Amino acid sequence: MRKKYVCLFISTIFIITIMSEAVAYQQNPNTSMDSLLQEPMRHNKNDDILTIISNINEPIYFSYLENITAFGPRVTGTTSCYNAGTYLYEEFQSMGLAVRYQNWNNGGYQDRNIEATLPGVDETSDELYLIFGHFDTVANCEGADDDASGVAAVLTAAYLLRQYTFNHTIRFVAFSGEEQWMLGSYTYVEEAVQNGDNIAAVLNDDMIGYALTQDQGSKIKVYDRTTTPRWVTNCTINISQQYADEIGLLVIPSGPTASDQLPFWDAGFEGIFYHEFKFNDYYHEPGDTIAHMNLTYAVKCSRLSIATLAALAEIVSSSNTPPETPDTPTGPAQGDIGIEYSFTTQTTDQDSTEIFYLWFWGNQMSEWMGPYEPGESISTVHSWDYPGTYEIKVMAKDSEDATSDWSESLMIQIAGAPLLGIGDITGGFGVHAGITNTGTGDAINVQWTITLSGLVLLGKQTEGTFPKIIPGFTPTAQTSLLIGLGPVSITVRAVADGLNPIEKHATGFLLGPFVIRVK
């Protein structure tokens, strides 16, 4: 709420300035109104935000963009979408962030969102600031602009902002199910409302990489939930003005429209949607590739949303030496649901007499605990309600809010075992089969094959791997391109670490690339 009033105050000053310039314009018609709107407010630049902006560059951004599009079309519920989600999880994890899957089942689809958290250091604040994009696509394209462009910005934000301290907590989120009308983000918001999360503002990057001319590359549309720009829009306008030399974008407030920020608006949360000024000519077509993107423009759009996020979450500048990274937590490596277990760690600090600790339990995060003395061995307890393998790690901060890195992780296995199954085998354009986990533990390294026998000229066998299938989740295995004619026998086989292989059989009729009469 404090941030909202600060932004409203700054926006009021900005509007008064523009109105006064408009009067000057009436007195001097040779003055361009566009030039007035773009006149940068260069005072009070934050050195840390300037450094962050300068480090948002094409090599970093492109590496993420290329890795995401390498999965090809990422249709919600398919192998490629599932594996892209695993890649995103592992990238966030490699950055030392607390990361989780949020599995969802909505509208006849199953998939998962990926959420990484950078905790704020102000113990009096429960405000959350989110930046997100969606990693799913339609069926016929690799979705470079829609929306690998936005997810690459989210990964870039996480990579850079993790090196700084903020008063308020930041979440970096990648949604699936957007192309089926925001199924993943609606589920996410439903959980946030149930948890009472204080989401202060959300920033959605969706299609931020297409511009054909220099003029198009100098503007960006920002969608708000009303036709009148609200405080988050005004904040990003202020950022674009304050760092005009470094960002080089004119913000065009464009009213409401639908994307993954819509469920947040529906729940009453504030937020905005960043979108390229010129709508992509290859939208939902095979031509939505990196080759048709403007990377310089995508970097500028990323700079705007990430700088806005850093300002909203209140970056903390400090010359104080942070605590040493805490010791790897000690505690049990196995346990049962509903039982509290004790875990211990400690760390030191060169110039502070008070240390606070933050614990990540694999599926949730603690509050800051303390103060404790440097070098003091500290213990806390935790229990889990569901079987699974959980990552436990701990972070420390001192009395001046300088934070350490996350500790090395301790893994704990809460009792439960996977149970693989093969769902219905269906036809259409190829063969599809759901690989289920009806057990109570994660199925690891699930390898599957679909084999066809008969007059099959192309695609007799397709193989794939799901790195992990959690309980209750059913990703879909599907064949590559098939060509043939006549009756076929179909065998679907799956195996996971520590489990015996399973098979299921069916028959069908292969007609070119189509499989019909499957039973």
Alpha-carbon gap, residue 145 to 343, rounded angstroms = 45
What single-letter amino acid sits at 221? K
What single-letter amino acid sits at 262? L
Mean pLDDT of 436-455: 90
Give the CA distances from residue 83 to residues 86, 87, 90, 136, 291, in Å, rounded to whole numbers and listed in that order: 5, 6, 11, 11, 23
Pick the CATH number of 334-414 from 3.30.70.270, 2.60.40.10, 3.30.420.40, 3.40.1410.10: 2.60.40.10
Amino acid 74: pLDDT: 97
Instruction: Output the pTM of the full model.
Output: 0.71
Topology of the domain covering 420-516: Immunoglobulin-like (2.60.40)
Task: Report the half-sphere exposure of 456 (CA within 13 A, side-chain side).
Answer: 25
Place of tokens 């800051």: 368
Give the CA distances from residue 106 to residues 177, 178, 182, 420, 499, in Å, rounded to whole numbers and listed in that order: 9, 12, 10, 22, 29
- Residue ranges of the chain that CATH labels 2.60.40.10: 334-414, 420-516
- Residue ranges of the chain that CATH labels 3.40.630.10: 2-22+33-316
Topology of the domain covering 2-22+33-316: Aminopeptidase (3.40.630)
CB 32 within 8 A of CB 225: no
Amino acid 17: pLDDT: 39
Average pLDDT of the chain is 89
Spatial neighbors of 373 by CB under 8 A, at least 6 apart, are: 353, 354, 355
Q: Is 66 helix (H, G, I), strand (E, B) or coil?
A: helix
Q: Is 332 helix (H, G, I), strand (E, B) or coil?
A: coil
Per residue in 366-392, pLDDT (tens digit) is 999 999 999 999 999 999 887 778 899
Max Cα–Cα distance, the chain, nearest Å = 83
Q: Is the pLDDT of residue 34 over 60?
A: no
Amino acid 30: pLDDT: 35
Per residue in 221-274, pLDDT (tens digit) is 999 999 989 999 999 999 999 999 999 999 999 999 999 999 999 999 999 999
DSSP-assigned letter for residue 6: H
Q: And the tokens for 300?
A: 């500028």
CB 345 within 8 A of CB 327: yes
Q: Is the pLDDT of residue 23 over 50?
A: no
Amino acid 352: pLDDT: 82
* 38 or 337, greater pLDDT: 337
Task: Report the half-sphere exposure of 385 (CA within 13 A, side-chain side).
Answer: 2
